[in-house]
Structure 1
Amino acid sequence: MAISKIMHMNSEKNRNPAQHLQNALEYIQNPDKTEKLLFVGSVNCPPKTAFEQMMNTKKMFQKTDKRQGYHIVLALKPGEGTPEIAYDMAKRFTEEFLGDRYEAVYAVHVDKDHIHSHIVWNSVSFIDGKKYDYKKGDWKHVIQPITNKLCREYGLSVIEAEYVKNSQNLSRKEWQFEQTFKEMIYRDAMFCASYAGSMEHFLFLMQRLGYEFKPKEYLTVKMPRRKLYHRLDKMDEYFAEGRFKYCFEYSSMHIPHFYSTDPTWKKRSNMSPYQKKFYGKLYRLRMIEQKRFYVASAKYAKDLMLFHKLQEEYLFLANNNIRTIEELLEIRESKQNRIDEITKIQDTIYKQNSSKKRACKTDGDWRVYQKWHIDEYNKLDKLKVEKKEAKGMVAMAEHCLAEKLDTAIDLILEDEEIDSTNKVKIPEFVAEKVVEADVMVMDSYLESNQLFEKKPVEMDPLFCEQIQQSVEEEPVVYTEPLPDSFNDYSLLSVEEKVKLYQMTGKEDTYLMVEVYFKRIGHPIYCGEVYDEAKELEIAYKSSLVDEQAEIIAVQMLVDGISPESYSLLSVASKTKYFEFDMTDNNYNLNLYKEVMRKMNQKMSSSELFEGYQEIYEAKMMRRAGGMQEKKWDRSR
């Protein structure tokens, strides 16, 4: 198999703009890596003078700045292929991908366990001077498919990495975001390993935290809701296959790491209901880390990693005495207006500076100008500081408005107390019974390490029940006949697709689309399936909003509530008409807005927020009351 990746080379500042391009060409033609240049070739230029010829092309079309070139790597699987095959593949790939428009050099490196080739080409075409334009999706739809086609022709195995659900074909921004969780994975693995007495016990603890193990691969884990798998032995030699088995013989209880801080020291007297929402989330996240093995804390990794941001948002509200959404909107608007005012003052001073400077003719004029310049620029310095502070407050207000405040709201009860000792309760493990979901992971490990006996694993009843439910769940797929060709399918509107799929909101939309694409023989591109599934979900939510809003508005009219009398209803009376989705605040708000539109209620944005918030809070209080009552019943 061969995996490709593409990189670009921008111009270098403060020296030769094409330095990166020159370095890349020199690197790929290293004699020590290419069997004395035996496996070096080129298209539309000689390899030795490729850089000079590329620069002449840039100068001829006056395009010597910005992006200088591109670099593709084609890596074969260790043990597969030969240098000759890799060289021929690189040559054919370059000719097919670039055609006869760009100067390019390709070379095969044989100094590593896996044979791999490099292709570097000029960003400017020597035919017409047009720059190569890499578009989003080219890797997925053009580069890797060519690589896979060549692999099949040479009898190499093909990895359909871009066609599977857990594709690693991520944008750089997505990839960098995924990497931020490696430290949390490592900390959790070390903590579990320090308490585990065996490999079975270690897997049990990691799964209780919510981690997923990749079948048939040694200690390769993924966080829930994330895309990338990570091998623990690559994070630390402690987890190496030949070493980790001996670590269980020595107990070394690690201190649990907390990303959250104890919120009880923070300002929490005389909080408004809106401030309590932020404080409540702070409290819940702290409890999640203390009960990490009982609530599968890895699911909340993103919230925990951003705990510091949530803390700043809460302190921003508390320190500025912002008690409602309306006050938050007002302060955001007032600070934005002040930013606009400062910008106008700055523009005026800059324009005056230019005109006064041009008007200076004599030494006296210059002295007057310099005095004015010093006074005005002192004023500008103060304005810049004020503008920076105002921008910070506007940004913080935006973050507060976007914060999802119902995270784990049904998971932690408000009367649960934080343990000030920072202790974490470790679940009991008895190696007597086995849970089906662990079999593949354990068998993979045990087959590769005969020093371990296959010992069954026991999980607590609640966790077993969750596992069993996930195993028994059947994927929800379409039941209505859909077109037998992708061309006919693409002609359907998104609304028609939603109806044909008979969506209910409970199905795995990605899997549903993937199953259909496989049925009609359409290539399963991860990005395409994801985009299609996302579009279907948005359309379904939109249709659901329209449908539910119509039902609510009609019910109100049937109950004798006219558009004029709606505003006279109590909050409790309004609450009974709305069924909110506690996991989707955006859907709730859109539903409320649509009902208000159908009821001909003309409101400003702040009034809509206020009306929605009142109903949402009333429903949450009622729900919390029901939970407390159930808890009391159980205690009896």
Structure 2
Amino acid sequence: MAIMKIIAIRDRLDKRVNYVADRQKTALDAGVAYAANPEKTEQTFFTSAIQCRSPETAYHEMMSTKRRWGKTGGVLGYHFIQSFAPGEVTPEQAHAIGLEFVSRMFGDRYEVVLGTHLDKVHLHNHIIVNSVSLTDGKKYHSSPGSYFFEVRPTSDELCRENGLSVITPQGKGKHYAEWQAEQTGKPTIRAMIREDIDSIIAQAYTFDTFLMLLQRKGYSVKAGPNRKFTTVRPPGAKRAIRLDSLGEGYTETAIKERLARQRTQGRPLQYHLPQKWYQLRGVIAILPKKKIKGFHALYLRYLYLLRRSRRTKLRPLPFSIRQEVVRLERYQQQFRYLLEQNITISVELEQRIVVLEWDIRTLTEERRPLYQKRRLTSDEAQKMEYSLEIDRKTASLRENRRELALCRRIQADIPQVSEQVRQAQEEERPMRKEGPQHEYQR
């Protein structure tokens, strides 16, 4: 079993690799030195240079190739890491597999340095490839396509030929942003679509009814006998999503099975107990409520809507509002800031921005001469005082800039927040009027 990893070498590594003697060398030289590091190889037998005289001269030969073809910028090279399972291969076998991998992938077109490292439980090959071809000057470009259709299949084929195990992917992977959101408990767009589908299935009778209710909810649906996949696009979204990409239970076949099972089993009736009213005698002191105005009321309402969208028992809100739940912490921070600064209208927010810009300009002008004074003085104690004063002003500048960025973000978000609240109110208004009238029909 071999796991492949590719790293593009774009910049210098002199700050990270302590054994690079010449600081003017590029990251490609550092990568070659790492791949042929004698401390990580037991003998020189496990280090090879392909289309180069030796690993020690490989960097200069690679740079000479770049200069000859006039391609010294961009990606300098690629670092391939081929890791094997512990105890599955010997050092000689791992090195031989690495050489064969290089031969099949690059042939005699690119300069390559290969080192089999034995410093960990699992043996692994480090392969440094020059990005510029030695024969025609064309650059090698690594992409997801080249990884999944060239690099990984070649490595897996070599593992099968040598009797090693091969990793078989199970299921479909997730986007990193979606996986991270699920790990932190934050809602995702796909999770919201699944919630809508679940709620609509509970109301639908057939698959056609399901699609009709989905369209009534604002989704754009593309389905039919001439289409291979059924796709849905949430309201406000730019791209459509296939149903089979939402996971098990959400493919077209699975949804039809769920609807058929629901028709067979039937839906349980829900009974509501009658409300009881009690009359109390006496006088109850009612304190006047503090009236909330301006931005405070707007954000308070919006945060209520975002939190409400997490509760499944209530009537679902528009998709455009529910997808904003991922930014709940951002709007909470803005609301707390507006409360602390007692900012309720746009004029007060603009005044605060002007004050912060003035403070930043003043602090910057006050800090500038301190650098020159610290540089000219020879007294260490005086230098220390200047340094402390610079640090204090830098901290104040950092705080003011952070607050200024927050104010400008609030200024940019307020129109959208207002529009979202207005849409939610418009959808709730007809529901309040038609609620008792259509209760029996529902």
Instruction: Report TM bin, short chain.
Output: 0.3 to 0.5
Q: TM-score with structure 2 length normalisation?
A: 0.48
Q: TM-score with structure 1 length normalisation?
A: 0.35
